[in-house]
Structure 1
Amino acid sequence: MKKIGILFGMENTFPWAFIDRVNTLCKGKGIIAEAVKIDKIEQAVASEYAVIIDRISQDVPLYRSYLKNAALCGTAVINNPFWWSADEKFFNNCLAVKLGVPVPKTVLLPSKERPDDTSEQSFRNLVMPLDWQYMFKQIGFPAYMKPHSGGGWKSVYQVESPEDLWQKHNETGQLVMMLQEEIIFTDYYRCYCIGGKYVKIMPYEPRNPHHLRYATQPKTEGKEHEELMKVIHEYVLKLNHALGYDFNTVEFAVRDGIPYAIDFCNPAPDADINSVGAENFEWVVEHAAKFAIEKAEEQIPGEDNCTWGTFISQSANKKSVSAAPVKKAAAKKVVAKKAPAKTTKKTQK
């Protein structure tokens, strides 16, 4: 019997619907789903779950460490806790640029307050004052200032001028902020991506009250709309394949027919029926359950069953290939020691 667990906090509608759906789909298949139960966490000891869907560890460091241990011992954790711990929104934007996905112009700002246990000397590599004029010219005003890591529309500011930025930046404490170009959009979409293959494109209006943000319709029609949907679908898959997220949302603001990726670091995206609506809720429950079952069927106990994005996996493969000649050269040197009359030099690129 394989177990699929879901680890969650205050949310109620999605976790229980997910559990019920998996158990309905898996009758007689030797797979069951339940809320994760933790009574102890011991190093290098496997959990009882083949798959865990993580909905809360971004807020609970204890859970993040538990999930890393579980993943190390063979659990397929959705999303990969090692990558999730390393990722943040500014890097996402950098990667999108390299992938050819349009994003707003963005720069990174130092925190207003120094991190704990640092002094002025800790920042001697920063040139003061920073090149504010270049940044302001590059981004323009109005602009948006938001944390480089985190989500949930927390600490997001619209800034109208440099003076407005300074005033609002005073409120941000130790947060590292991004200053981002404002995209005046005609359409906006929020897209679920599950398993790197299941995509749900949803019209979305971020300016509406939270419970009405999905109660909107696209402005484009006909062939123009069809082409836009194809491009957005392509960008959603491209971003999630590179990042390696099994469960994520990507938001796009459409300006002059071009979809700009606004936010795509949402590894525990909102899936509450009261905000996403019944139709979208049904889709995410069904496809999350379907993908979790697929992962449970593929899971091999004791092995690495987490998803690694192409950004990591391709880099690792390149490093493995480039390391091979070094090992070969080292072996030749060992052989050379047996023949004192000949000498070799070991070089490193």
Structure 2
Amino acid sequence: MADVEHIIGLLLGTEDDWPRAYEALVDRLGPVVDGSGRKHRLRTTRVTIEPFNLRDKPRHSLVIDRLAYWYYHPREWLKKVSMMDDVYLLNSPFTFQSMEKHAAYCAMMRLGLKVPETVLVPYKHPLENSRWAYTAARYNQSFDLDEVAERLGYPLFMKPYDGGAWVGVSKIQDSAELHAAYDASGERLMHLQQSVEGYDVFSRSLSIGPETMVMKFRPELPMHDRYAVEHGFLDAETGDEVVTISRLVNAFFGWEFNSCESLVRGSEVFPIDYANACPDVALTSLHYYFPWAMKALLRWTTFCVVTGRRFQVDLNTRRYFEVADRTDLTYKEKLAAYRKLADEYFDTERYVDFCASRLGHVDELVYDWVDSPDFDALLVDTVRATYPASEHERFLAHFRGLVGAWVADQE
């Protein structure tokens, strides 16, 4: 049987660190043998943006998209290659509207998750439209912003319904801050959301396919210090709930490369931000956890192309809603049912077996690469591109220490 080649397309914006890492690991992977004995080889290419005929046939088997959540031309190309050519995508371009937070909040509230109370308020300054004045005069109801805020209770957060990277997010303590933030929102549509006060842990979980890494997150610190290298900060049951919520969100919307932020207070988990079309996987952010992320991305993309996994355009949301509507199930039982649906979506059992039987060498492959001069050269280039020259030595020592700790922990 002839070998099969799979081209993995990388649709990128400004980032270069993790793409170089992923490309290096694919080059080192070698052939992967499927159940019939056929060899599969992966090759990467960076996707360029140019005019495309809707009947053009793409070369790619799979595309990792990090751009189309804001750049519409490649988004439409992704829709075309998924619908017409069965190219596999890690995040569905058809649910990017949900990446604007609002639909994601609604869906997870519908499923009974402990999303804080949230109100969408009208624009402070509506977008320019010739029909606005007539529509507003006839249909817009006046409202008391202070009353809305008081019903939610201070402190609260004002955040863009379509935001990301904490841009435009304000913590509001009183009426004066409320009005100042609303006045500054301009043409951005904003949510008001209850603050979860007195939480014990802020967690951010990064999920790639059916794998999830739950990390202790410290948003008040600079980006290079936000992910704490700490283990056992959640008990087993709470940690499992955080993982379940992360995978539930992804399976529900057809996202396979996404992060989820949750606040844990006592034994309760409150998901607050879980719609991230371009989750943080920067080497200078993840540091200790970066090798895991690259390993998971390599394993999942290989599994998808070698097994012929099909990209799902349709969302089976009704199956989740049927669980949500059952009155005979406790919250814990509903989470277990959602986890089962998520595992079915990700084909988790088959994936685990595939990794064990076909990709057993990946752990050693990634270890050897991270412990090599090639990885250190990537780290040096990344630090030089990210920080001013006066801070290069400091940050090289910082990240070498953290990555070195990961290497030591694998021994």
Of residues 176, 179, 192, the one that matches 2:192 is 179
For 2:102 and 2:72, the matched residues in 1 are separated by: 22
Give CA-to-partner distance per residue, 1:191-211, whole Å, 9 cap, x none: 01122x211111111111111
Query: Does 2:76 correspond to 1:76?
Result: no
Q: How far apart are 1:287 and its partner, in Å?
A: 0.8
Q: Which residue of 1 aligns with 2:139?
A: 125
What letter is aligned with 1:78?
L
For 1:154 and 1:105, the matched residues in 2 are separated by: 21
Contact (CA 8 Å) 1:186, 1:219: kept in 2 or not?
no
Pair 1:179–1:39, CA change in 2 (3 A): closer
TM-score of the superposed pair, with normalisation by structure 1: 0.81
Pair 1:313–1:115, CA change in 2 (3 A): farther
Q: Which has the higher contact order (CA 8 A, sep 6+)?
A: 1
Structure 1 range deviating more: 183-192 or 290-299: 290-299
Pair 1:108–1:162, CA change in 2 (3 A): same
Q: Which residue of 2 aligns with 1:192?
A: 206
What letter is aligned with 2:54?
Q
For 1:75 and 1:48, the matched residues in 2 are separated by: 9
Pair 1:205–1:119, CA change in 2 (3 A): same
Give CA-to-partner distance per residue, 1:207-232, whole Å, 9 cap, x none: 111111003647856xxx12211221
Q: How far apart are 1:95 and its partner, in Å?
A: 1.2
Which SS does the other structure have where 2:228 is aligned?
coil
Q: Which residue of 1 aligns with 2:299?
A: 290
Of residues 38, 42, 45, the one that matches 1:34 is 45
Pair 1:114–1:312, CA change in 2 (3 A): farther
Identity in percent: 24
For 1:204 and 1:270, the matched residues in 2 are separated by: 12
Pair 1:218–1:121, CA change in 2 (3 A): farther
**Residues 1-349 of structure 1 aligned to structure 2 (within 5 Å):** 1-27=5-31, 29-73=40-84, 74-117=86-129, 118-123=131-136, 124-128=138-142, 130=143, 132=145, 134-184=147-197, 185-195=199-209, 197-215=210-228, 217=230, 220=233, 225-277=235-287, 279-299=288-308, 305-306=311-312, 308-311=314-317
What letter is aligned with 2:255?
Y
Contact (CA 8 Å) 2:207, 2:247: kept in 1 or not?
yes
Q: How far apart are 1:309 and its partner, in Å?
A: 4.0
Contact (CA 8 Å) 2:18, 2:282: kept in 1 or not?
yes
Which SS does the other structure have where 1:171 is aligned?
helix
Equivalenced residues, count? 306
Give CA-to-partner distance per residue, 1:259-304, whole Å, 9 cap, x none: 1101000121010010111x3111111111111112222448xxx6
For 2:304 and 2:55, the matched residues in 1 are separated by: 22
For 1:182 and 1:201, the matched residues in 2 are separated by: 22
Pair 1:218–1:162, CA change in 2 (3 A): farther
What letter is aligned with 2:62?
V
Q: How far apart are 1:86 and its partner, in Å?
A: 5.0
What letter is aligned with 2:227?
Y
For 1:164 and 1:310, the matched residues in 2 are separated by: 42
What letter is aligned with 2:200?
T
Q: How far apart are 1:249 and its partner, in Å?
A: 0.4
For 1:146 and 1:137, the matched residues in 2 are separated by: 17
The answer for unaligned runs of 5 or more in structure 2 is 32-38, 322-411
Q: How far apart are 1:314 and its partner, in Å?
A: 7.3
Give CA-to-partner distance per residue, 1:47-67, whole Å, 9 cap, x none: 211100001112322211221
Which SS does the other structure have where 1:170 is aligned?
helix
For 2:13 and 2:104, the matched residues in 1 are separated by: 26
TM-score of the superposed pair, with normalisation by structure 2: 0.69
What letter is aligned with 1:94?
C
Q: Which residue of 1 aligns with 2:368?
A: none
For 1:85 and 1:105, the matched residues in 2 are separated by: 21
Which SS does the other structure have where 2:240 is aligned?
helix
For 1:4 and 1:77, the matched residues in 2 are separated by: 10
Which SS does the other structure have where 2:317 is aligned?
helix
Question: Going by fraction, where is helix more abundant, 1 or 2?
Answer: 2
What letter is aligned with 1:2?
H
Pairwise CA RMSD: 2.3
For 1:156 and 1:219, the matched residues in 2 are separated by: 30
For 2:151 and 2:231, the matched residues in 1 are separated by: 30
For 1:146 and 1:167, the matched residues in 2 are separated by: 13
For 2:262 and 2:26, the matched residues in 1 are separated by: 31
Which SS does the other structure have where 2:78 is aligned?
helix
Contact (CA 8 Å) 2:98, 2:104: kept in 1 or not?
no
Pair 1:275–1:246, CA change in 2 (3 A): same
Contact (CA 8 Å) 1:44, 1:72: kept in 2 or not?
no
